[in-house]
């Protein structure tokens, strides 16, 4: 909650100090953007990248490998159940922030309808990408540096720091090519009605393509990682 709230306050102040708007966003629109961003980020985030290296270093992954079900199923269930339990708190917070910052929501019916599959694809895509990246722990005993590099890139290229339209062209181009925008920023822009129907279709297509690539990459990296895995313990 704290991170998007800070960005909301900063960009709302910037909008007011520059004549009312920045890049097509006024203070109320910045409020709606970061409130929706808070909810989408909550629904898509994972914590597996922080836990997986611990499992490998301490050997607890061995117990998961003995089970007849792939470990990813347990992580997915934990992730979704946590989000469902905490979502009511996030929704109440979003309503309070909307009232406090006088956010402007101009919802378009077709965009709201398209938001549902876009959000589902974003959740699946971010989960698979970050689960795959967490597998670096099979070869690197301390993956915190890799995690930090990933999260810094995601922070800027997914639209969490600012709407992507405010970034320079090279950053916007990188965001369109890499999966970051499709994991977070795209569903936010879609729900707020800032995309055309054709742009929405292109975005859902990009999400589907990255999801397929992530599935293939996950299978390859997982098989290679399990072969390299050696349980040592603490």
**For residue 61, what are its two tokens?**
């992954």
Picking from 197, 75, 204, 194, the residue whose alpha carbon sits closest to that of residue 127 is 75
Residue 207 placed within a domain? yes
Residue-level pLDDT at 20: 67
Q: Tell me, rounded to whole angstroms, the distance of Cα 220 from its chain centroid.
A: 23
Tens of pLDDT, residue by residue over 196-231, are 999 999 999 999 999 999 999 999 999 998 888 776
Q: Which two tokens stand for residue 179?
A: 């999966």
Residue 234 lies in a domain: no
Report pLDDT for 234: 47
In a domain, 53, yes or no: yes
Whether 233 is covered by a domain: the verdict is: no
Residue 17 falls inside a structural domain: yes
Give the DSSP H/E element, type plus range, for residue 69. Answer: none
Task: Evaluate whether residue 45 is within a structural domain.
Answer: yes
Residue 139 lies inside a defined structural domain of this protein = yes
The tally of domains found in the chain comes to 1
- What is the helix (H) or strand (E) element at residue 203, kind and residue range? helix 197-228
50 is in which domain, residue-wise?
2-228
Q: Which stretches of the chain score pLDDT less than 50?
A: 234
pTM > 0.85: yes or no: yes
The SS3 call for residue 80 is helix
Relative orientation angle of helices 27-44 and 2-17, to the nearest 10 degrees: 160
Question: CB under 8 Å to 195, separation ≥6 — which residues?
Answer: 111, 186, 189, 203
- Pair 44, 126: CB distance under 8 Å: yes
- The half-sphere exposure of 104 on its side-chain side, counting CA atoms within 13 A, is 10
In a domain, 182, yes or no: yes
Give which of 32, 14, 41, 42 is closest to 193, Cα–Cα: 32
């Amino acid at each position: 909650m704290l991170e998007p709230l800070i960005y909301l306050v900063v960009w709302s102040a910037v909008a007011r100090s520059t004549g009312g708007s920045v890049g097509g966003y006024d203070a109320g629109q910045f409020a709606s953007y970061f409130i929706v961003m808070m909810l989408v980020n909550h629904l898509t985030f994972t914590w597996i990248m922080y836990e997986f290296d611990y499992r490998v270093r301490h050997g607890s992954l061995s117990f998961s490998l003995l089970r007849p079900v792939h470990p990813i199923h347990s992580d997915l269930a934990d992730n979704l159940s946590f989000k469902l339990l905490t979502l009511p708190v996030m929704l109440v917070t979003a309503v309070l922030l909307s009232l406090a910052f006088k956010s402007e929501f101009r919802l378009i019916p077709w965009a709201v309808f398209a938001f549902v599959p876009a959000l589902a694809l974003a959740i699946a895509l971010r989960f698979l990408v970050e689960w795959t990246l967490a597998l670096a722990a099979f070869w690197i005993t301390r993956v915190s540096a890799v995690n930090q590099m990933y999260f810094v890139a995601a922070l800027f290229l997914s639209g969490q720091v600012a709407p992507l339209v405010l970034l320079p062209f090279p950053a916007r181009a990188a965001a369109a090519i890499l999966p970051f925008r499709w994991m977070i920023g795209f569903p936010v822009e879609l729900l707020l009605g800032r995309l055309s129907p054709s742009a929405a279709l292109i975005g859902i297509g990009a999400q589907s393509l990255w999801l397929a690539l992530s599935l293939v990459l996950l299978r390859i990296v997982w098989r290679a990682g399990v072969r390299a895995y050696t349980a040592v313990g603490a």
